[in-house]
Chains A and B, each alone.
Chain A
Amino acid sequence: MAQVAMRSLNKNYDEVHAVKDVNLDIHDKEFVVLVGPSGCGKTTTLRMVAGLETITSGRVLINDKVVNDLAPMDRDIAMVFQNYALYPHMSVYDNMAFGLKMRKFDKGEIEKRVREAAEILGIGEYLKRKPRQLSGGQRQRVALGRAIVRHPQVFLFDEPLSNLDAKLRVQMRVELKKLHERLGTTAIYVTHDQVEAMTLGDRVVVMRDGWVQQVGDPMTLYNEPANRFVAGFIGSPAMNFANVRVAGQNGSLWAEGDGIRLKVPAHLSNRVGAYAGKAVTIGIRPEDMHIARDSDPPELNIPAVVEVVERLGSEILLDVAVGPVTMVASVEPTARANVHEQLRLAVNPERLHFFDSETEAAI
């Protein structure tokens, strides 16, 4: 049972302003993911919640209690580190029991809790081994076990899966999700991998250069990105961008750019209309484009030259040249396209995004 709140949280290193004015409310039992490119301040934010970094200004509250001056051990949190941070000289059992011993639990209770956690994580048979005798995935489980035996109020995860290979990462991701559903402990999870963020998070916080860019559930971030950065960061392959001008013609709005001329759909014309005559950035997700059929209206087509064809099985990725820019279109696996072929791509008008070219904010 724990809510975590951050109020105007700031972190200054000597020259660098690493975390800028972060405000966040994390509800009880929520799984919140902080995501962003390296150096965006996500880990620093997490470490301030953990008490491992001093807070330059602002407050961190756990259960409505300011914890700024509490030592890490008194915040009733558990943290899982990227490099697992298992104590190499202790057995798996002692690693998991350490926190409980430090808190003076009696032997029977320690034994019970460690066995229980080992059972949940499927590491019961390794309890006597030393960490170096375990594989990467097993070490990760021990690190998780060490966190869950304490029954803390909040779990903090600092890129716990980045040291695992791709297959294991997907597997552990699913297990983490199950574990969270089973335990229901509030969790803050830091990652640079947007797929992890989208799959794990009840809500996702996108950060960049110390600023929070957007907070929302995964589908909101995907469908309604607040700005060009979030739009480009969330989704794989990334959203395509092109610089266009908004022009009014015959009573309708057009986005005109090098090699592009698209009619602005009616539901956006109010907002985009304010930019008439100005430069904006248009954003189109790869999955919102397909090879144009005769039935597709020509005012929503883009002429393109195929440069690379990537056949993934479930879909085909076309790297195409549209005027001066390269775009990626994800088309159905039955589509026929050859390199150097000229074709027309139809865009889904419901899913076009426009961004202010200067502020990069969504229009």
Chain B
Amino acid sequence: MLALAIIVCCLAAIVGYITAGDKSRSRVGWAVGSFLLPPVVLVLLLALRPLQLYGPEGAPWRRWLSFRIPLTLFIVGLLFPFYWMIVTSVRPDNELYRPWNAANYTPFWTLRPTLQHITDLLSETLFTTWMMNTMLIAIVSTVISLICGLFAGYALSRLKFPFAGGIGTGIFITYLVPQTLLFIPLADIIRNFHLGDSPWALILTYPTFLIPFVTWLMMGYFKSIPKELEECARIDGAPRWKAMAYIIFPIAVPGILSAGIFAFTLSWNEFIYALVFLSSPEQKTVPVGVTSELVRGDVFYWGELMAGALLGSIPVAFVYSFFVEHYVSGITGSVKG
């Protein structure tokens, strides 16, 4: 349930993100509105929580009022952007550009779905290249960040050395520096190293925010693993690196997977670095490619845009659902007894 909510939230974010470029008032309104609805309903539910009103107990009307109806609203709110994206991507052009006051205007469904936009997207644009680029960049930068973050997180949570606490906080603070500020000096560095317009520009810059993120997540996870396990391993005859490899890391797999999923999603969805550091169409990533190549001036290829968003969100949704078990236990804690 939680994982589903997060998948949908993520998809809502993508859709909200892409439609946010729209100048048409009603569509921006839809995007923003549907984007805000889930958190609002969530806050409402959380506010009801201390009253002990929700859950399977109590009179039927109370259950409806306090649990089922809010939950339904929540799910509808969460799923609506996703639905909107699917409907738009299969809607024929003549329906898509029909004015809102036309007699047969049907914004919420279509009677003549078409795969035209998807085939156009795959054949007429560089979408498959963008997918490959994004995949490569996301995987490589995630792997780099996981390796660095894993060891950094272990060191900061387990080893005693001067300023360990300060360094931990420092790493977290670097994660809080907004990318909208960082891309300016980073652009200079990319230019000096002649990395502009190549995947390396992103593979090497994404870890700047992924490593602090992974480090911080893994620090928390390692702290939840009783240190006696490691002490016992060291008494049993394992030097520290073996205790790490055979005991700590296998136990931390759920944490590593969730950190990996988050890192992958962050780099998959990253926009501003990709926009600034890449210029030629065949180097672009999905978020940048879709928004820059399918919005030409004030012409919006809505069908292709939504088809791109749909296909672009599939790998992320796939990764989430594949690791959902591990991922949930990754955020809810680790070793009991």
* A contacts, CB < 8 Å to B: 50-52, 71-73, 75, 77-79, 81-85, 87-89, 98-99, 102-103, 131-132, 136, 139, 146, 150
Contacts and interface: CB of A to CB of B under 8 A. Distances in A.
Contacts of B39: none
Contact of B228 (A51, A75, A85): A85
Contacts of A72: 231, 234-235
Interface in B213-240: 226, 228-229, 231-239
Contacts of B235: 50-52, 72-73, 75, 77-79, 99
A87 B229 contact: yes
A88 B232 contact: no
User: By DSSP majority rule, is chain B's interface helix, strand, loop, or mixed?
Assistant: helix
Contacts of B337: 83-84, 131-132, 136, 139
Nearest to A88: B335
B191 interface: no
17 contacts: A50-B235, A51-B235, A52-B231, A52-B234, A52-B235, A73-B234, A73-B238, A73-B239, A81-B231, A81-B232, A83-B226, A83-B228, A85-B232, A98-B233, A98-B246, A99-B237, A146-B236
A78 B236 CA distance: 7
A87 B247 contact: yes
B296 interface: no
A81 B236 CA distance: 13
Interface string B244-262: 0011001100000000000
Contacts of A50: 231, 235
A132 B238 CA distance: 23
B23 interface: no
B235 to A, nearest CB: 5
Interface in B56-90: none
B242 A85 contact: no
A69 to B, nearest CB: 15
A85 B226 contact: yes
Given A73-B234, A99-B236, 12 more contacts: A50-B235, A51-B235, A72-B234, A73-B238, A79-B231, A83-B337, A85-B232, A87-B233, A88-B335, A102-B242, A139-B337, A146-B232
Nearest to B334: A88
B25 interface: no
Contacts of B237: 73, 99, 102-103, 150
B112 interface: no
Contacts of A87: 229, 232-233, 247, 251
B245 to A, nearest CB: 11
Nearest to B228: A85
Contacts of A103: 237
The 7 closest A-B pairs by CB, nearest first: A99-B236, A102-B237, A85-B228, A85-B232, A81-B228, A73-B237, A72-B235
A145 to B, nearest CB: 12
Contacts of A51: 235
A117 B238 CA distance: 21
B175 to A, nearest CB: 29
